[in-house]
Amino acid sequence: MSDDKGPPLTLDSPVSDVDRRLANRRTGVRTKGPPASQVLADAFGIDSVGHLLRHYPRRYIDRSATVPVGELRFRQGQQVTVIGRVKRVDRRLTRRRQSMVTVKLYDGTGTLDLVFFNQPWTASTYREGLELAVSGQAAVYRGRLQLANQEVEVLRGDEAETVHTGRITPIHRAAEGISTRTIRELVHGALERLPPIDDPLPPDLVAEEALESEDFSLRAVHFPEDPQSLQRATDRLKFDELFALELGVAYRKRRVERTEKGVVHASEGQASGAYVAGLPFELTQAQRRTIKEVGEDMAAPRPMNRLLQGDVGSGKTVVALYAALVAVQSGHQATIMAPTEVLAGQHFRTARSLLASVGGRDLLSMKAGARVGDQPSLLDGLGQEEPEGDRLTFALLTAGVTGKDRQRVMEGIREGTVDLLIGTHALVQEGVEFADLTVAVIDEQHRFGVHQRVVLKEKGVHPDMLIMTATPIPRTLALTYYGDLDVSTLDEMPAGRRPVATTVVRSAAERLQAYERVREEVAGGRQAFVVCAAIDEANRLEVRAAEKEAERLAREVFPDLRLELLHGRMRPAEKEAVMDRFRVGEADVLISTTVIEVGVDVPNATVMLVENAERFGLAQLHQLRGRIGRGDHPSYCILFDESHPDNAEARARLDAIARTTDGFALADEDLRLRGEGTLFDVRQSGMPDLKLARLADDVDLVRRARARAFATVDGDPGLDRHPELLELLRHSFSGEAIEWLFHS
Ligand code: ADP
Ligand code: MG
């Protein structure tokens, strides 16, 4: 289309070099907007031909796969494309005075109505006589055919031809000021003038994996000849994405292992042995295996970087305390960090009970003894009174520990008289200096990013790190974004756990039954949780705020029961008091925000009601449910679904949680429903983001890319013989992830 071909393009050429006329094209209101090339830069960050080619089509119109209107009735529920000509356009106002445009599309076999609400401009966009390609889900609504979530493309002159001649037409994501058509023409022009595109991967790897060439794939992903070549091209480009990610992961993992000297701990000591022997229960097989893995890591001369994943209640804290003991019996310090005050308190209580058998005791429960006038130096005296080795001193550091107590704890840590510190992430990370920290256990409520991993390490000299997560991580995620960590999995529940029966409530009658269930359980001596989504009514319409809900329940539903309210804005001491009353059975029902999501261990609680359950993610709901079913009684989780009946995603999510109690199955489902982008902020962390690959679906490609990446790094740890791969890392990773990759 350009007559002046100019010099050959490279991937670094500016987009305007592709075709000046196209790049300057203006669309939008009276064509006063910025030129296309500017829009590309602003909207998508595309400023070179290379970037342009990575702007992959978001879908395709495949003429050979289109369906005649006459057949739609038999394709209900399927994703289909229909191509036809506009026969008539009607505009009218609905009774609610909304604009409604109906476009009648005819393809020789039948007529399909496309309906647009509140988009009056569609009447002129889809004029009579134009040819349209419409994709969507075939459905019959009130006796009429329609395509749900329809997407419409106008096929103009030449496009209609290419489509008619059997070509697959790419639809690129457009933006205000640039049409998908202009983008398509730019990409087409660029590919015509680019010499063969270099392959970023070593030729032997490409051959052994039987991948298509980069040149073929970049061309075919935009303009495929047929569905098979599109598939092959996409696989190749997905492999590239996953390989870059895995290469980074492998590089970082091996670099850390090679260069960082860790502390060699004595994993088979007196204290850890006595601890395991003194536990009031049998360890599960999974706990034994994990304890062994942790012990081996800690005894090795390189730092541990281990992820411990296990469902709520699978017994992670037992393992965490073991790791702490290994550090302490080797003469060092340990810390266990939790995301919330409540959870830190819970770990602290667990420590108090499980460490008693090895002489563990709380710093603050010890008489300050010779301490006069709180002279810090006198703490040393304390240490001398109590011979080292016999004692294990632990302490809690939360916002609730204040004044002199706080001072004592801080000094104990700094001077090494506190062996194990349990606290919240925020406090431990920001406020504390350790004398000799060699193991840090991080208990994470949610999924964590690169940032946390980098910050934490700075607290000790290459401390061993054990990251615990109660949100099981889908396998593919553990192999990719967390792929530099070694993984232990507690995939077995302690004996005697009863699965929780989960139901979803959508009607008023069912709601009453749910309240009846609470009553019955309380009458039988049990307790119940009611969880609400937020603490005030900032989101007035839908959220049943905990405070309002507590009032309502007290007044209208359970006037005769003992209710307590717990929310995140209460002072730590208040929270503790409420939790204590509930724990000892002085309250029947605890109404709370998600503060209780983690850390509450009240085996007598057997009912969990969740208001506006549709507002919670799968992982969160699973966490909440894990709060019950901890005792000997059958337990019930009841989810109130207030979502709109059309909200298929919410329905799918709640049905999934009702269907299974397997956290790992739910994690996979979560990934499938939400996609990787939402798991944590990939972009912000600077990890490469995946444009084509889908972790939930591309398990096989993940494994292949991972195996190749590790083989490459193991054969050439510094990538000295693969400068092009080092370069690949430099431009695939950015920001904090660069630090993580090369330095920290
Ligand atoms: P998690 O942190 O994985 O949710 P916890 O470590 O808090 O689980 O353990 C939950 C409860 O189960 C605690 O009361 C703990 O003492 C108990 N527990 C842990 N391991 C076992 C086991 N092997 N047998 C019986 N009870 C156990
Ligand atoms: Mg726990």
Query: Which mutation among 308, 318, 498, 604 tests ligand 1's pocket best, with the greatest number of atoms within 8 A of CB?
Result: 318
Residue whose Cα lies nearest atom 10 of ligand 1: it is 313
Share of the chain above pLDDT 70, in %: 88
Q: Tell me the mean pLDDT in the region 125-150.
A: 84
Smallest-distance ligand from the CA of 494 = 1
Residue whose Cα lies nearest atom 24 of ligand 1: it is 494
Q: Which distant-in-sequence residues (6+ apart) come within 8 Å of 622 by Cβ?
A: 311, 312, 471, 657, 663, 666
Could you tell me if 631 and 604 are in contact, meaning their C-beta atoms sit under 8 angstroms apart?
yes
DSSP string, 52-104: HHTS-EEEEEEGGG---GGGGGGGTTSEEEEEEEEEEEEEEE-TT--EEEEEE
| 276 within ligand 1 shell (Cβ under 6 A) | no
pLDDT of residue 375: 41
- As beta bridge partners, residue 495 has none
Ligand 1 centre and the CA of 316: distance in Å? 7
For the CA of 354, the nearest atom of ligand 1:
16
| 596 within ligand 1 shell (Cβ under 6 A) | no
pLDDT of residue 313: 79
pLDDT of residue 370: 38
Rounded-to-integer distance, Cα 503 and Cα 508, Å: 14
- Give the tens place of pLDDT for each residue, 429-477: 777 899 999 999 988 755 555 555 555 566 556 789 998 987 777 777 7
| 629 within ligand 1 shell (Cβ under 6 A) | no
| 583 within ligand 1 shell (Cβ under 6 A) | no
| 287 within ligand 1 shell (Cβ under 6 A) | yes
Per the model's pLDDT, the better-predicted residue between 504 and 152 turns out to be 504
Cα dihedral 644/650/652/658 (nearest 10): -100
pLDDT of residue 684: 61
Ligand 2 centre and the CA of 668: distance in Å? 22
Ligand 2 centre and the CA of 695: distance in Å? 28
Q: Tell me the mean pLDDT in the region 716-729.
A: 94
Rounded-to-integer distance, Cα 135 and Cα 119, Å: 18
- Give the tens place of pLDDT for each residue, 100-122: 899 999 999 999 989 888 888 88
Helix axes 316-329, 285-299, angle to 10 degrees: 30
Per the model's pLDDT, the better-predicted residue between 549 and 294 turns out to be 294
Ligand 2 centre and the CA of 175: distance in Å? 46
Smallest-distance ligand from the CA of 342 = 2
Smallest-distance ligand from the CA of 599 = 2
700: pLDDT strictly greater than 70: yes
Tokens of 42: 């602003």
Q: Tell me the mean pLDDT in the region 231-240.
A: 97
Q: Report phi then psi at 120, rounded to 5.
A: -55, -30
Share of the chain above pLDDT 90, in %: 46
| Band of residue 330 on the pLDDT scale cut at 50, 70, 90 | very high
Q: Are strands 99-106 and 111-117 parallel, antiparallel or unpaired?
A: antiparallel
pLDDT of residue 160: 54
| 603 within ligand 1 shell (Cβ under 6 A) | no
**Closest of 399, 459, 466 to residue 430, by C-alpha:** 459
For the CA of 603, the nearest atom of ligand 1:
14
Q: Which of 225-234, 487-496, 541-550 has the lowest mean pLDDT?
A: 541-550
pLDDT of residue 455: 58
**Closest of 200, 174, 198, 201 to residue 187, by C-alpha:** 174
Q: Tell me the mean pLDDT in the region 19-25.
A: 84
| 284 within ligand 1 shell (Cβ under 6 A) | yes
For the CA of 287, the nearest atom of ligand 1:
23
| Band of residue 597 on the pLDDT scale cut at 50, 70, 90 | low
The answer to whether the predicted template modeling score (pTM) of the entire model surpasses 0.85 is no
Q: Environment class of residue 40 by beta-carbon count within 10 Å: exposed (0-12), middle (13-18) or buried (19+)?
A: buried
For the CA of 284, the nearest atom of ligand 1:
23
pLDDT of residue 385: 43
596: pLDDT strictly greater than 80: no
Ligand 2 centre and the CA of 154: distance in Å? 56
Tokens of 73: 């009735």
What amino acid is encoded at 305 in this protein?
Answer: N
Eight-state DSSP code of residue 31? G
225: pLDDT strictly greater than 70: yes
Coil, helix or strand at residue 718? coil
Tokens of 391: 């004692």
The residue written with tokens 């130096």 in the block is: 377
Query: Which mutation among 491, 601, 604, 661 tests ligand 1's pocket best, with the greatest number of atoms within 8 A of CB?
Result: 601
pLDDT of residue 168: 84
The shares of helix, strand and coil residues in the chain, as percent rounded to the nearest 5, are 45, 20, 35
| Band of residue 541 on the pLDDT scale cut at 50, 70, 90 | very low
Query: Which mutation among 317, 500, 661 tests ligand 1's pocket best, with the greatest number of atoms within 8 A of CB?
Result: 317
Q: Tell me the mean pLDDT in the region 225-244.
A: 95
- Give the tens place of pLDDT for each residue, 242-260: 999 999 999 999 998 888 8
| 117 within ligand 1 shell (Cβ under 6 A) | no
Per the model's pLDDT, the better-predicted residue between 339 and 29 turns out to be 339
Ligand 2 centre and the CA of 312: distance in Å? 7
For the CA of 353, the nearest atom of ligand 1:
16
| Band of residue 148 on the pLDDT scale cut at 50, 70, 90 | confident
Q: Tell me the mean pLDDT in the region 179-206.
A: 92
Smallest-distance ligand from the CA of 353 = 1
pLDDT of residue 252: 92
Ligand 2 centre and the CA of 345: distance in Å? 11
Could you tell me if 594 and 534 are in contact, meaning their C-beta atoms sit under 8 angstroms apart?
no
pLDDT of residue 482: 81
| 494 within ligand 1 shell (Cβ under 6 A) | yes
> According to the 3-state scheme, what is the secondary structure of 168-234?
EEEEECCECCECHHHHHHHHHHHHHHCCCCCCCCCHHHHHHCCCCCHHHHHHHHHCCCCHHHHHHHH
Rounded-to-integer distance, Cα 389 and Cα 391, Å: 5
- Give the tens place of pLDDT for each residue, 62-109: 777 789 998 988 888 888 889 999 999 999 888 888 888 999 999 999
Residue whose Cα lies nearest atom 26 of ligand 1: it is 494
Smallest-distance ligand from the CA of 349 = 1
Ligand 2 centre and the CA of 521: distance in Å? 25
| 599 within ligand 1 shell (Cβ under 6 A) | no
Q: Which distant-in-sequence residues (6+ apart) come within 8 Å of 384 by Cβ?
A: none
- As beta bridge partners, residue 486 has 306
pLDDT of residue 386: 43
Residue whose Cα lies nearest atom 23 of ligand 1: it is 283
What amino acid is encoded at 489 in this protein?
Answer: T
Ligand 2 centre and the CA of 663: distance in Å? 15
What amino acid is encoded at 600 in this protein?
Answer: V
Helix axes 378-385, 403-415, angle to 10 degrees: 70
Residue whose Cα lies nearest atom 20 of ligand 1: it is 315
Ligand 2 centre and the CA of 315: distance in Å? 7
Q: Environment class of residue 416 by beta-carbon count within 10 Å: exposed (0-12), middle (13-18) or buried (19+)?
A: middle
Coil, helix or strand at residue 305? strand
Nearest 5 degrees, angle CA 360-CA 363-CA 367? 110
- Give the tens place of pLDDT for each residue, 464-523: 999 898 777 777 777 888 888 899 999 888 887 777 999 999 999 999 999 999 999 999
Ligand 2 centre and the CA of 347: distance in Å? 7
Smallest-distance ligand from the CA of 422 = 2
pLDDT of residue 1: 44
Query: Which mutation among 276, 279, 281, 353 tests ligand 1's pocket best, with the greatest number of atoms within 8 A of CB?
Result: 281
- As beta bridge partners, residue 105 has 86, 112
Instruction: Tell me the average pLDDT of the chain.
Output: 85
- Give the tens place of pLDDT for each residue, 302-326: 899 899 988 877 899 999 999 999 9
| Band of residue 6 on the pLDDT scale cut at 50, 70, 90 | low
Ligand 2 centre and the CA of 110: distance in Å? 61
Residue whose Cα lies nearest atom 19 of ligand 1: it is 315
| 84 within ligand 1 shell (Cβ under 6 A) | no
197: pLDDT strictly greater than 90: yes
Residue whose Cα lies nearest atom 15 of ligand 1: it is 315
177: pLDDT strictly greater than 70: yes
| 347 within ligand 1 shell (Cβ under 6 A) | no
- Give the tens place of pLDDT for each residue, 341-399: 878 888 999 999 999 989 999 999 887 643 433 444 444 444 444 444 467 999 999 88
Rounded-to-integer distance, Cα 164 and Cα 236, Å: 28
Ligand 1 centre and the CA of 68: distance in Å? 60
DSSP string, 92-161: EE-TT--EEEEEEEE-SS-EEEEEEES-TTHHHHT-TT-EEEEEEEEEEETTEEEEEEEEEEEE-HHHHH
